[in-house]
Amino acid sequence: MTPEFIATLPPEARAEAERVFRSFSARRSSYVCYPEDEAKTLYFVMDGWVRLFQLGPQEEEITLTVVGAGDIFGEGALLPGERYGVFAEPLVDSELLSASREDLLRLTSRFPEAQSAFVLLLSRRLRKAEERLRDLRFKEVLPRLAKALLSAMRKGEEGLEVTLSHQDLAHLAGSTRETITKVLGELAMDDAIELGYRRILILKPDILKRVSS
């Protein structure tokens, strides 16, 4: 399936973008890039979740954000001499697209529409980052978790479900695994969700929507 930012390009630009971006699978808990790596490749998430994090003074992991379907990362590749500055770790087996800096420069120099598409993708990333910071500052864990569950839920065999672990949800919601486990238990007691092994059934999404707002 062609992502929207490519599909909306004029025919010639679209054909070139489809040639430039290559698909690949990234396994859960592997690393797509490292902080010290030169940013030579831009990535686009087709499906899945990728955590971007750094190490703190005591080697603790500090999650900066989690990008999902429709998001880009590795945007340093759009500028010369940049490094990634983050670890990129898929939280689940993910499908990604990648394009080299050289191919991107040729694409954007030939087709201004492609450059505009990347500006739009970067703007969306910035807006989501600002929204995450605002949520961390002004919202309690419960509404942040409800929002994370809604964004991660998919149609499964038994209905709407989330297949992320409690730790993955902690990364998404900006909390700890212990706190997330406690709040999930409270939601289960309210019959909003049903907990299983690496699977959470969403029984009442309307409750989650109300709580998240």
* Per-residue pLDDT in tens (0 to 9) along the chain, 213 residues: 789 999 999 999 999 999 999 999 999 989 999 999 999 999 999 999 999 999 999 999 999 999 999 999 999 998 888 999 999 999 999 999 999 999 999 999 999 999 999 999 999 999 999 999 999 999 999 999 999 999 999 998 888 999 999 999 999 999 999 999 999 999 999 999 999 877 999 999 999 999 998
First CA to last CA distance, the chain = 32
Domain ranges for the chain, please list them.
Answer: 4-136, 139-212
Residue 97: how many other CB atoms lie within 10 Å = 20
Q: How far apart are CA 141 and CA 54, in angstroms?
A: 22
Tell me the whole-structure pTM to 2 decimals. 0.90
Q: What is the CATH number of domain 4-136?
A: 2.60.120.10
Residue 196 has a pLDDT of: 86
The residues, ordered by sequence, that sit 6+ positions from 178 with a Cβ below 8 Å of its Cβ are none
Token pair belonging to 64: 């900066």
User: Cα(210)–Cα(198) distance, rounded to whole angstroms?
Assistant: 24
DSSP structure string for the chain: ---HHHHTS-HHHHHHHHHH-EEEEE-TT--SB-TTSB--EEEEEEESEEEEEEE-TTS-EEEEEEEETT-EE-GGGGSTT-B--SEEEESS-EEEEEEEHHHHHHHHHH-HHHHHHHHHHHHHHHHHHHHHHHHHHH--HHHHHHHHHHHH-EEETTEEEE---HHHHHHHHTS-HHHHHHHHHHHHHTTSEEEETTEEEES-HHHHHHHH-
Q: Tens digit of pLDDT for each residue in 150-179?
A: 999 999 888 899 999 999 999 999 999 999
CATH fold match for the domains 4-136 and 139-212: no
Yes or no: say if 172 and 162 are a contact pair by the CB < 8 Å rule. Answer: no
Q: Which CATH class is domain 139-212?
A: mainly alpha
